[in-house]
Structure 1
């Protein structure tokens, strides 16, 4: 395909970039467009190709046919497509001026200790890793809560591994650590950040603590922070799921997470043939699950809602 039309591959990747979802526990990816629809779109753009050729190319790129049962994530609101278009517009705008585009989320909580971890790994014959027979929590060290920050432009992941609770403060602290350890070295002159996040969880669109702590972060870094939330029921479209979390799951597949050091090291050793690198660190801080943000504190946030879906898209600027 590339040999006959060198522009077709770029056009194809642009289409897929905006319509790709994935499984955070495996490298499997899927697209909301069929091979036929993609072939039709490429033909409209001046790149005629058959749906059979497109089907083969999608498989080469790691895509798989998915049954409805496997991909349905709940009833999507009617505004979903418009929000995806807006997110893609924002991503292109920030990338064009060299500002960071960050995909964020918390990975599934893991138990640290000699517990069985699903999957298999290569070991000398007859020497399986021995783990506890029972999975009682008190037999382990505690929970590991990986919060990821994926830099879309640089294909780089940063993971802050918490030991306490997944809170809004923890989510923002993960962004702060990304900035101090990685971000400011590459984006010191950036005019602002774009954060793409799910609509729920510790970084949810309705979480007061998320916005309040983001205000403090914006004040510290002296840069506006723009947030675009994915619509309800579309978490698998968040790039961090299939670009970072699925690869981490492959790295520690079949290996007991016997200590926090092992968790951090396994995450940090995650690599892919496409150039993904990951930095991880342990967060020993304690986070208050009962934190309340008052109405007065909310009024003090320098928040500007966007015209398009204002509850899902907003910018918090420094005071």
Structure 2
């Protein structure tokens, strides 16, 4: 029969046994239990000890909670150290070991409270009172802030333009390629729903702020007779 079907005699004998015992064929998987190539983790009974030996000098923890630990080693660095110990990471062993011992890639969570200042609400109540006072008067209320600095020059810009030819710019946006940097300073008039932007080449200094407010003041005709104003910047009333 082996010659007729072109198979090994062991296969024929196995088929005869399976026909004699049909219950052995009742399984849900194609491969029988225990079959296949053995995992590297099962080949090395000391792999957990080796793993912690590698992490021992590269692991820190929370002094207030012994369950919280972290390592400064990357998976690639752990893999290299395992290779030096004679363990080849062919089947993502590092990922399995990290998961087994509770290490999961996470981002830091801003949650721990720094405490509640005694007069925390006082500043907000003061700001609200100023706003109410100025809303009921002719005095303006403005919101001021500097935007992100922009490099000026033959540099790449996001977006599209209607052009007749392709606009070519530098292949890299290195700072030294820029002609200069500018700082847009925005002033928003809350009452009139109007904005004013002053673009300067200086840093975001107090002089630049005052000059920007002065320019806005001088361009607003209706403010010529006003003697006071309120400016909000990051929740602070100057």
TM tier relative to shorter chain: 0.3 to 0.5
In our comparison, the structure showing a higher alpha carbon Rg is: 2
What TM-score does the superposition give when structure 1 sets the normalisation length?
A: 0.35
What TM-score does the superposition give when structure 2 sets the normalisation length?
A: 0.46
